[in-house]
Amino acid sequence: MIGDLIVPMYAVAFVLGVVLINLNLITYLNQRIEENRLFLILGFLILLYLTLEWILIIIFPDEEAVFAFRLLMLGVNVCYYLFIFFWLLLLSELASYKFPQRFVFILIAAYGTTMELLGGFFGDFRPETGSYAMDSEAAKAMMVLLNLCFAIWIIYLACRYLLTSLRYMEVGEKKRGVILISGLLALYEIWILIWDFSLVIGGNIDPRESTNIDPMVLIFIVYSIAVIWVFYKKDPLGICTAAGSLPLDPTFTERDVASKGLHYGLTERELEVAAAVLNGLSNPEIGKLLFISENTVKRHLNNIFRKTGTKSRYELLSLFLGKEG
């Protein structure tokens, strides 16, 4: 039954993934903010991961394609390490939670390098039986231990984001997003842990002959459908144009804000934040209006103060009213 669904499931995931990537790209081009960039990178890495995985399924029975299989498997694994990193990075941005990027990247890189070396030197793919074997008991034990430690660590980080969102985030789309994305990450790592353990002890890795289909296929399909539905619901005719239309106070026209702001070298996003500040919006309100985190709002606001030589919202208001400078 599972084997019969492999082709249509990957086909649906690929088609929806292409649509998703295009929507994420349009969003990023219209709103050059960190969250949009991370969504774009994450979607691309997962789509590439599933594409390489599908090619592996196609060539798997060919005993003469073992080298190509190993090379593709390396590509799949590298995509996995990268999208786990960007998955965590996205959670950090959405939850406005401090994230030690360099430290986490180094740990993931060290884990991935060690795993690939162990698999390359001691592992053996056997296309004729659809299995993977490791003859060295020491290498096998080390790989199982590394998998266990890495999976527990990622699950722990995902649960921290989940608890942070439940305790401290206001009810809204971002909170629901963090809960969903962190929950999926924890569940996916549990599956990875189980699958890797069965693989190391010599399990069948051909999804057409077993029930070990990658749940990322289902996750990506559901995620793509959800994002496409949100785009259609919020902006069916003009994607991402609503966020740029700010309800300015009559005292400040868009032209006034842009002309003075450009004089100080403000970027397009900083002009939007400045206009929102001049309308008396708080940081959380600006974040909701522009679909960015409070930390991102604060960063833009600090840049605005620095470029305009002001130190507070009052000074910024005075500057744009022409009472100063």
Tens of pLDDT, residues 134-157: 777 788 788 888 989 999 999 999
**Which of 24-33, 100-109, 187-196, 210-219 is modeled with the greatest confidence?**
100-109
Which residues 6+ apart lie within 8 Å of 146 measured at CB?
111, 114, 115, 118
Q: pLDDT class for 127, splitting at 50, 70, 90?
A: low
pLDDT at 155: 94
Identify the burial level of 254 via C-beta atoms within 10 angstroms of its C-beta, where 0-12 means exposed, 13-18 middle and 19 or more buried. Answer: middle
Joined together, the tokens standing for residue 160 give 């921290």
Rg, the chain, Cα only: 24
Per-residue pLDDT band at 235 (split at 50, 70, 90) = low
pLDDT at residue number 79: 95
Statement: residue 42 has pLDDT above 50? yes
Ordered structural domains, the chain, with CATH: 2-234 (1.20.1070.10), 242-321 (1.10.10.10)
Instruction: Please tell me which residue, 201 or 261, carries the higher pLDDT value.
Output: 261
**What is the residue-averaged pLDDT of the chain?**
78
